[in-house]
Structure 1
Amino acid sequence: MAGFVQPSEGQVRIDARDLTHVPPEKRGMGMVFQQHAVWPHMSMAGNVEYPLKRAGVEKRERVERVERALRLVGLDGFGARKPASLSGGQRQRVALARAIIADPSVLLLDEALSALDEPLRDSLRRELVSLTRREGLTTVHVTHDRSEALSIADRVVVLIDARVQQVADPATLVRYPASPEVAAFIADAALLDAVRQGDRISCPSLGLSWPAAEVEVVGTPSEYLRLAVLPTAVEVLPAGTPDAAAATVASVLYDAGNFSVTVETESGDRFRATVTGARPEIGEAVGLRIHRPLAYPV
């Protein structure tokens, strides 16, 4: 998109304008890298001002626009300071101000927050969303952090093995993954083989079956299916509960008042689930019920 690499096929278009063979500096895009990439010998204002200098903008206008850009990213009054005197988060804000000062048509973020520690990362994530919405700025954000993508995006593109698997808003992506692989990647779904037998769908490895009406089939129904079991579909029950698969607690993490657990069945299948109340113990025997799994034709 930025123009650093020429595509082997296809086109890059913005507002119907073909930019495929336009050099990066003439595409009108802003770019923020994973590492802030600010110049240490320049002041904050000098870093932010640089694109305007290259564009030949008159000095008085440059000063006004630099002040506005620094104010937008919460660094009003920091213009005279050098990068060495600022925190990593502040330097990344400078990089963001430099990217937006020339009023880009698109802002490109290459894992721009991944090098920051929490809670700074969360704070900048919130500020970035507010800034881009307030300025009406189209932003493309590359990230490997699933929660980050789901929390800040209007649309998410899932790439697996360099191919687009699904494009959807976050809520649709989590509730209706387009494939078992997307379900596993986005929502930690467990994947299982299943068979349709009459009006029931059974999973041999678990010894469980469901009426076909209680399984959400994605695509054209077929005899052989691949089940994707989202964590929200898993109910952890006391050991020995009727109509529940036997399992053992494999891991437990505290999660905002609840417990995120991984349970493993006798067949070796692993499931994520949320447990409320008392903390489960690792190695504890439990029962497992699955409600409304997703099913994909094989």
Structure 2
Amino acid sequence: MSAIDIHDLTVTFPDGTVGLSGIELQVRPEEFIVLIGASGSGKTTLLRTLAGFLTPSAGHVAIGGRDVTAVPPEKRRMGMVFQQHAVWPHMSVARNVEYPLRRAGVGKRERGERVDRALELVGLGGFARRRPDSLSGGQRQRVALARAIVADPTVLLLDEALSALDEPLRDSLRRELVTLTRREGLTTVHVTHDRTEALAIADRVVVLGEGRIQQVATPQELVSRPATAEVAAFIADATLLDATALPVAPSEVMGSGSTLTLAVLPHMVEVLPAGADGIPAQVRSVLYDAGDWSLTLDALGTVFRATVRGARPEVGDPVTIRIHRPLGYLT
């Protein structure tokens, strides 16, 4: 069980590009943290810096109270799983999994016992002699996971580890991964570009943008109270409006400043028949979403998201929308 403490972490690349700027983050022991953000937001840079593959320009990283800022990756007691399986095809499953133990000089008998246990934990008991080319994509990713945990790491790092898998295998492995980290008491940091995945598996979500932390919150807090208009747009498909652009009901205002931006989340948009009292709109797209219909709506040149139940709306249908209590951000 290890906490992760990140203080004032900055990474500047040789060409002057700032990858991370002043990152402050504390991860509790056994917590499952998910890093998410748009491409170039800094999530992979942060993970690679935690792993020791990148050296920070400033700041510190501590694992379990030990400063590891200058400690090489192989001495940080971290397991890491990448998007691509990185399983060596010329080695058996057992040889793949035991590789970190061989490098650490662990004896043959103990290696065998630990490999067997790791394979059992990831659901591959009895696969030790198999070759990777005889396994499915999900099984190869389980081999990579077993290799990451076989050396009893204190921290598990996952870099888009499930994104190469197809559903429903991805959903199944996602559930197994959360169960495994809970059972083994692993502190876990997971990078993903999938918002649904982040909200489904995280204890807390870290939203990054332009190398800075935009918000750290539980999934419930993140969806119900995004800290900024940009987070609302990224996480919840909010439509961002100038406060004077649309006559709406009173909003909940957060922040301080003089310029107001409204964030209209899908659940704040009520869809009514054409001709009702409200703002005229037209259905632009319709997608089925677990019993509901997810719509995009064009209202006076502005696109909104909304969710409705019942009969399927059709693209081009005229409707009326009402906006209820959008979030207001003073900047």
- TM-score by length of structure 1 reads 0.93
| 1:175 Cα offset (Å) | 0.5
In the TM superposition, 1:15-164 aligns within 5 A as: 15-164=64-213
Distance 2:190 2:321 in 1: 38
The match for 2:261 is: 226
Distance 1:145 1:65 in 2: 33
In structure 2, the partner of 1:280 is: 313
The alpha-carbon deviation at position 223 of structure 1 amounts to: 5.7
Q: Find the aligned partners of 2:125 and 2:302 in 1 and give their Cα distance.
A: 54
Q: Distance in 1 between matches of 2:195 and 2:258?
A: 33
- Does structure 1 conserve the Cα–Cα contact (< 8 Å) formed by 2:284 and 2:316? yes
1:224-263 maps to which residues of 2 (within 5 A)?
A: 224-242=259-277, 244-263=278-297
Q: Which amino acid aligns with 2:248?
A: S
| SS of aligned partner of 1:218 | strand
Where has structure 1 moved over 3 Å in runs of 4 or more? none
C-alpha distance in structure 2 between counterparts of 1:135 and 1:177, whole Å: 32
Is 1:264 equivalent to 2:298 in the alignment?
yes
Rounded to whole Å, the distance in 2 between the matches of 1:287 and 1:33 is 47
Question: Aligned-pair distance for 1:209?
Answer: 2.9
Partner of 1:12, secondary structure, is strand
> In structure 1, how many angstroms separate the alpha carbons of the residues matched to 2:108 and 2:325?
63
CA distance in 2, matches of 1:55, 1:224: 58
- The percent of aligned pairs where both chains have the same amino acid is 72
* SS at 1:61 equivalent: helix
1:41 alignment partner, SS class: coil
Secondary structure of 2:241 counterpart: strand
Q: Deviations over 1:229-270 (max 9, x none)?
A: 11111111111111x11111000001111100000111x111
Distance across 2 between alignment mates of 1:255 and 1:181: 24
* Separation (CA, whole Å) in 2 of partners of 1:257 and 1:153: 24
Q: What runs of 5+ residues in structure 2 fail to find an aligned partner?
A: 1-49
SS in 2 for 1:182: helix
Aligned residue identity for 1:168: A
Paired with 2:293 and 2:312, the residues of 1 have a C-alpha distance of 7
The 3-state SS of whatever aligns with 1:115 is coil
SS of the counterpart of 1:210? coil
Separation in 2, partners of 1:8, 1:182: 27
Distance 1:245 1:9 in 2: 51
- Please say if residues 249 and 323 of structure 2, whose CA atoms lie closer than 8 Å, have aligned partners that are also in contact: no
Give the 5 Å matches for 1:126-205. 126-194=175-243, 203-204=244-245
Post-superposition CA distance 1:40-92 (Å, at most 9, x none): 11100111111111111111111111111000000010010000000011000
Q: Distance in 2 between matches of 1:191 and 1:109?
A: 32
Highest RCO, 1 vs 2 (Cα 8 Å, sep ≥ 6): 2
Question: Which residue number corresponds to residue 198 of structure 1?
Answer: none
**Whose Rg is larger?**
1
2:248–2:324 CA contact under 8 A, matched in 1: no
- 5+ long unaligned stretches in structure 1: 195-202
- Structural RMSD (CA): 1.0
For residues 148 and 210 of structure 1, the distance between their equivalents in structure 2, rounded to whole angstroms, comes to: 33
Matched to 1:258, the amino acid is D
In structure 1, the residue matched to 2:28 is: none
Q: Partner of 2:58: helix, strand, or coil? A: coil
Task: State the TM-score, normalizing by the size of structure 2.
Answer: 0.83
